[in-house]
Structure 1
Amino acid sequence: MQNFKAMVLLQIIISIFLFLSQASSQGIGDKSNVPEYAWLAGNWSGNGFGGTSEESWSLPSPDGTMMGMYRHLDSMGNITFYEFLLLDETGIRLKHFRPDLIGWETKEDFVTFEMVRYNGKIIELKGLIFKRKSENEMEILLKLRKGDVVKTEVFTMKKINKLK
């Protein structure tokens, strides 16, 4: 009976040790878990839609999800709309809001951009592309459809500060 208790205790100790060593090897500080699209993290500002575009992206969570916020100001400096965004390996999901925070989409609906590919220089989604031009510059290409006409809006963005 004493040997049985000792064996069970030893198995529990080994299980805890294996769990803790695996958990620490998968921590946020482990660069091997950082998704290749993490270069987007930080605050960006640039042009687009005839005004100023500002975009902020969080660092990735342990599951690789990044949270983003966007706001557009017209040429007079008035806010025209906001966006709340989620990026992961499947793509981007976003909701639009008017300046008074009333949503464009219904409560259950959101806009999606399905992931095509990503790496340290590009995040290509169906209808939306983020191109990393340098450490502090990127270009965003957004395809817009109005009836049968497809137009590409180009945003030239500069990083205004980095997240660590």
Structure 2
Amino acid sequence: MKNIIILLVLAIGLNSFSQEKETLEPKLENIAWIAGTWHGEAFGGITEEIWSEPSGGSMMATFKLIVDEKVQFYEIEVIREIEDSLILQLKHFDSDLKGWETKNETIDFPLIEITETKVIFEGMTFEKISSNEMNVYVDIKNDDDTIETVKFNYKK
């Protein structure tokens, strides 16, 4: 009897794990939970990120960081369908809207995997905590070429 209970617990645990890790198709409708107005704190200030619902083969977002009641920088982001996959692209702007990247340059994050609660791009991951909370993990290259992962906790 004890062995049956152990096997049952293991089967339930493995089933829960496999459901969590099930890879979804790279379609915008599978990541629509990202849409909304999100607020958080990072880099010593207040962050705001606003994502649109999927339409026209893409989702778009704006981001801003406010420190000491002054905008430090903005970002424009898109997730778009490309070649049966998704890609996240962004551009940075100073508070006066002068771009960091050159005119035709974007920072690109190719899709790695989508599950029920995660969208994993190369260098950026969105994690659904609930319908009103998500974490975004961004790999940032430091001046000494080391990579630091910064966590943004957002709430609607």
Question: What is the DSSP-based 3-state SS (H/G/I as helix, E as strand, rest coil) of the residue aligned with 2:33?
Answer: helix
Q: Which whole-Å CA distance do the structure 1 matches of 2:45 and 2:33 have between them?
A: 25
Residue type at the aligned position of 1:158: K
* Runs of 4 or more above 6 Å deviation: none
Residues 39 and 120, structure 1, Cα contact 8 Å, conserved in 2? no
Q: Which whole-Å CA distance do the structure 1 matches of 2:44 and 2:69 have between them?
A: 11
Residue type at the aligned position of 2:52: S
Q: How much does 1:55 deviate?
A: 0.2
Give TM-score scaled by structure 2 length: 0.75
Count of residue correspondences = 125
Alignment match of 2:130 (pick from 130, 134, 144):
134
Is 1:37–2:31 an aligned residue pair?
yes
Q: Which whole-Å CA distance do the structure 2 matches of 1:119 and 1:38 have between them?
A: 12
Is 1:69–2:62 an aligned residue pair?
yes
Gaps of 5+ in 2: 1-26
Larger CA Rg, structure 1 vs 2: 1
Q: Which whole-Å CA distance do the structure 2 matches of 1:78 and 1:120 have between them?
A: 36
Q: Which has the higher strand share?
A: 2
Q: Which whole-Å CA distance do the structure 1 matches of 2:28 and 2:137 have between them?
A: 24
Identity of aligned residues (%): 34
Match for residue 99 of structure 2?
Answer: 103
Residues 91 and 115, structure 1, Cα contact 8 Å, conserved in 2? yes
Match for residue 147 of structure 2?
Answer: 150
Q: How much does 1:34 deviate?
A: 5.7
Alignment match of 1:79 (pick from 71, 87, 109):
71
Cα deviation 1:120-141 (Å, max 9, x = unaligned): 3111111111100011000111
Cα deviation 1:78-110 (Å, max 9, x = unaligned): 100000111124221111001101100010111
Cα RMSD after superposing both structures = 1.4
Q: Which whole-Å CA distance do the structure 1 matches of 2:28 and 2:90 have between them?
A: 22
Give TM-score scaled by structure 1 length: 0.72
Q: Which whole-Å CA distance do the structure 1 matches of 2:41 and 2:75 have between them?
A: 16
